[in-house]
Structure formats: structure tokens, C-alpha cells
Amino acid sequence: MENAIITSKEIGLAIRRRRKELGISQERLAEILEVSYQQIQRYENGTNKLNIENIQVIARALSVPITFFLRTDIQAMGASTASLPSDEKTLLEIFTKISSTEDKRLVIALAQLAARKR
């Protein structure tokens, strides 16, 4: 796509697609992000524009890089976890079951420490 501008609607569709891929409800994502589920609906419908800070927070909550929402290739946005190695898929499945934001931050911090040991 040459010089195409990614719209709020496209970013919202990517958020919805990834949320559903992970089996997370709008209500649960709202809890994680500490916003209302109506706000999640507005993001997903493209009604509200997202700034880069919000995109970063959402990307972290959905375990994807921020570039996931900025891709212009629709197939890339719809990439599923099926292509992940089984250990990564297991880690992602377990991580999405953690309800506490604080606990998620601890898991992320632990993973970052483990990654630095390489």
C-alpha cells in the first residue's frame, strides 16, 4: 500500500481481531486497561482516535508489538497464534488467564530479566 494512511477504524479492527484471538472479552480488556468497556467499543469501532501512548498500552495488554496495529497488510493483522511454537503459545495462553494487572507486570518483568540472561 503506497502512502496509505492507517485509519482509526483499521486500528480498531486489529484490536478486536487480536482480542478475540486471545479469547478476551471487551469487559476484560477494559479491566486490564482500566477504562470502561464502552471505551473499548469506541476504540474497536474507530469512533475514538488512539494516541501512540494508548496504542502502546493496548499492544502490551494484547501481547503484540505496536507495529501490529500499524501494518497495512490485512493478512498480517489477522495472523493467529497457530504459527507460534508450542511453548510460546502455552505462555501466551497462561498469561491471558492472569487477571491482575500487577501480576501481569510481574510476569513481564520476570520474562524481561530472563531474556537479558542470554
Residue 37 φ/ψ, nearest 5 degrees: -65, -25
Alpha carbon distance 17, 36 (integer Å): 19
Alpha carbon distance 25, 31 (integer Å): 10
pTM as predicted: 0.59
Alpha carbon distance 15, 111 (integer Å): 24
The three three-digit cell numbers of residue 66, written as one number: 505496536
The three three-digit cell numbers of residue 8, written as one number: 482509526
pLDDT in tens, 60-97: 999 999 888 876 544 443 455 666 788 888 888 888 78
Domains and CATH numbers, the chain: 8-116 (1.10.260.40)
Provide the sign of the torsion angle of the four alpha carbons 92, 96, 97, 102, taken in this order.
Answer: positive
